[in-house]
A = this chain, B = another copy of it.
Amino acid sequence: MKYDGVDYPDLRSVNQDQTCNIPVSTINPLFALAISYTYTSLIPGITAAGQNKDLIKYTSPADAEFLNYGHCKCLDSVPVTPEGMPTPAIITKTALDLSKMPFLIINAGSVVKPQVPYISFDMNSGNDIRTGNAVDETHVRMALSHGESLGRELAKLSKMVVIGESIPGGTTTALGVLVALGIDAWSKVSSSLTKNPHTLKNRVVEEGMAKAGIPFGGFKNDPIKAIAAVGDPMIPVVAGLACGISGSGSNVMLAGGTQMTAIVAVISAMNRALENICIGTTCYVADDPYSDIQGIANEICSDIPIYAVDLHFEESERLGLRAFANGFVKDGAGAGGVSILAMLKSSGSLTGTSILRSIEIEYDNLTRKQKKK
């Protein structure tokens, strides 16, 4: 992809011509990570997050702590599974460090409070969407309103805000919101698992919609009700932020996979402008044969730019990192978007390969610490 006269071989535009529409003057980015929780994540087989059921709720605060300290506080161990598969926050942290990009943590309903300074919206966690009553409607409204308020302030601080998410089970709740809004995303959302459990996800969403008493597209004109019925608390927080930032004239990169299309769908259903908003993800999401981010985006609006970064994980000698190239996790904690902005901010001196080398060093430190325990 070309940007400001420089060629970025590891960046590409998924659905546009191979140019980047982000204004050059904006490249002093700020990253905000929204951590959240939905009890939907406890449905067996729905997420790769956490080594076991009791640990899932620590996943997102652990990500926040890892970005802040380089290790976790709420978990005894570093966030690498026994098989050596790390949280994607290792990518985010490396890219943040390399680019000296500032970041803020937003608690968008994590059930465990992170032991770091964080922005609070006083949100509760999300219920299992099979109840048809995922998020209190008052909280959805508050999240949108607080998000807009905060977004307006962040827009004064940065012309480009990258927003990431960390919520186990989040692709299923994203599917819920998409189909409630009438977007045919069935079997199109991504998964943290290498084998995408589409049948399970579709069934969970169908159950939630039945419980809420709505057909496909039943909340087409009511995104607040769609989120309240079958969404999660992260979605209105990030949608509100994106509206507040873009409405104040700054740019927003929604950093994540198919979950971020649910944010786009919500903003679109609220009749708010999408012109300063894009999606940034990894090539592992963009090229995933088991999901279709571009297809979902096309259903919503044809022109939201999607950018993807190639981090060359298939070239890594570390099995745990190579897993990212083999469909494990794929993106998360803003990994793809932060890598993209780190590259653009560096004017090309950072590449997929150079970021990977730094991730490998971080990974080796982690696994060394892990072994010592």
Q: In chain A between 121 and 153, which residues have their CB closer than 8 angstroms to a CB of chain B?
A: 121-122, 146-147, 149-150, 153
Residues 250-283 of chain A, each 1 if its beta carbon lies under 8 Å from chain B, else 0: 0000000000000000000000000000000000
C-alpha spacing A187/B158, complex, angstroms: 44
* A120 closest partner in B (C-beta): B120
A118–B116 touching, CB < 8 Å: no
A318, CB-defined interface residue at 8 Å? no
* A interface SS class: mixed
A201, CB-defined interface residue at 8 Å? no
A9, CB-defined interface residue at 8 Å? no
Residues 147-164 of chain A, each 1 if its beta carbon lies under 8 Å from chain B, else 0: 101100110111000000
| A338: min CB distance to chain B, Å | 14
Given contacts A157-B30, A157-B157, contact A119 B116 (CB under 8 A): no
| A152: min CB distance to chain B, Å | 8
Partner of A68 from B102, B107, B121, B149 at Cβ < 8 Å: B149
Contacts of A146 in B (CB 8 A): 116-117
Given contacts A149-B68, A153-B103, contact A117 B120 (CB under 8 A): yes
A117–B157 touching, CB < 8 Å: no
A100–B153 touching, CB < 8 Å: no
Contacts of A74 in B (CB 8 A): none
Contacts of A330 in B (CB 8 A): none
Residues 97-123 of chain A, each 1 if its beta carbon lies under 8 Å from chain B, else 0: 000111110010000010011111110
A153–B104 touching, CB < 8 Å: yes
Contacts of A116 in B (CB 8 A): 146, 149
Partner of A120 from B118, B150, B154 at Cβ < 8 Å: B118
B101–A149 touching, CB < 8 Å: no
**By CB atoms of chain B within 10 A, which of A107, A150, A154, A156 has the most?**
A156
**By CB atoms of chain B within 10 A, which of A104, A147, A153 has the most?**
A153
| A243: min CB distance to chain B, Å | 14
A117–B150 touching, CB < 8 Å: yes
Contacts of A149 in B (CB 8 A): 68, 116-117
**By CB atoms of chain B within 10 A, which of A117, A147, A158 has the most?**
A117
| Sample (16) of A-B pairs whose CB atoms are under 8 Å apart | A68-B149, A100-B156, A102-B153, A102-B154, A102-B156, A102-B157, A104-B153, A116-B149, A117-B120, A117-B121, A117-B146, A118-B119, A118-B120, A119-B119, A120-B120, A157-B158
Q: Which 9 A-B pairs have the closest CB atoms?
A: A102-B156, A117-B150, A120-B120, A117-B146, A102-B153, A157-B157, A102-B157, A119-B119, A117-B121
